[in-house]
Amino acid sequence: MPPSPQSSATANEWSAPFAPLDPEPLHIELGSVARIIGPLLSLAIFVAALLQFRELNLRQVTAMLPGSVAFWAVFATWYLTAPFVDWVIFRRLWRIPLSGLLPLISKLIGNDLLMGYVGEVYFYDWARRRANLATSPFGAVKDVAILSAIAGNAATLAMVGVAWPFANLLPLGGHGHELAVSIAVVLASSGVVMAFRGRLFSLSRSELRFIFAAQLTRIAVATALSALLWHLVLPDVALSWWLLLATIRLLISRLPFLPNKDVVFAGLAVVLVGHDIAIAELLTMLAGVILLTHLVVGAGLLARHFALEGKHR
């Protein structure tokens, strides 16, 4: 059913373009349970960051931190790439304000620290409570998540096509069978989604094409920025090598049944560019910086979340 005139009047001006593209509103009243989903997820994200922080060798990480402004500028850009692309997408769908970038950063942290798609649950809860949409935001959040996975699979398959002639030269540690099974799963999952796309997707074709293109752009930009980050830390290694390794790391990260992904990548990096100790330190340092950033940003967003909750009471 279309929304009543009263609900249409209460929806703000940036919800209108979304109304014809989403399923009917979910007529589910969760009461007090719904109101605590957001705070609970925010708290869970922060606790997960604290637990991982306990295992971090802070002294080792800080000793390796680069002092150049360029490194931190590139790192900040890389860190915000995924949330910004998501913001561009939902800006087009819902005309969300710039403040909508903050829950999208929480979405990134939740997916990284807890498990995949926890961040989508958090953002869905935010959109349902804060966006004041005339219809349920579930359809759009679902479509963006599916297309993000498909874009990652497409990039993975493209890389497989490029790297396959050299597969025997890669130091996969005897995991060739797992590699083949992983590729088969990627193909099958993408095939299933495309076969049932008429029933899975809620948005229009033009919006789906825009989202898919945006997600491919996100992958390309993030991969290039990763390579540039590594190059700034180890400038003796040519940027072209880091671009190759960043692309291969993307491939490795998307394969579901390949164990010890970091070990495989580190071995590959050492074989191609040498500097085994330096590369190990580089990967350790960046992992620590990402975790510390998640912790600091997550703490700030958590404090802001509870401050806003207090104002709305």
- How far apart CA 51 and CA 104 sit, in angstroms, is 22
Note whether residue 8 is domain-resident: no
Residue 229: inside a domain, yes or no? Answer: yes
Is residue 97, in this structure, part of any structural domain at all? yes
Decide if pLDDT at 257 tops 60.
no
- Decide if pLDDT at 224 tops 70: yes
Q: CA 260 to CA 188: how far, in whole Å? A: 23
Q: Does residue 17 belong to any structural domain of this protein?
A: no
Judge whether 9 lies within some domain: no
DSSP assignment, residue 2? P
Nearest-angstrom CA–CA distance, 305 and 114: 19
d(CA 20, CA 134): 10
Average pLDDT for the chain: 75
Count Cα atoms within 13 angstroms, Cβ side, for 125: 21
148 occurs within a structural domain: yes
Q: How many domains does the chain have?
A: 1
Closest by Cα among 251, 265, 115 to 182: 251
In a domain, 1, yes or no: no
Q: Which domain holds residue 88?
A: 32-312
Query: Residue 291: what pLDDT?
Result: 84
pLDDT at 15: 40
With respect to residue 14, please indicate whether it lies within any of the assigned structural domains.
no
Count Cβ neighbours within 10 Å for each residue of 274-305 and write b for 16 or more, e otherwise: eeeebbebbbebbebbebbebbebbeebbeeb
Closest CA to 261 of 250, 272, 247: 250
What's the CA gap between 242 and 223, in Å, rounded? 10
Q: What are the tens digits of pLDDT across the range 28-66?
A: 444 444 556 666 766 776 676 667 666 666 777 777 788
pTM: 0.77
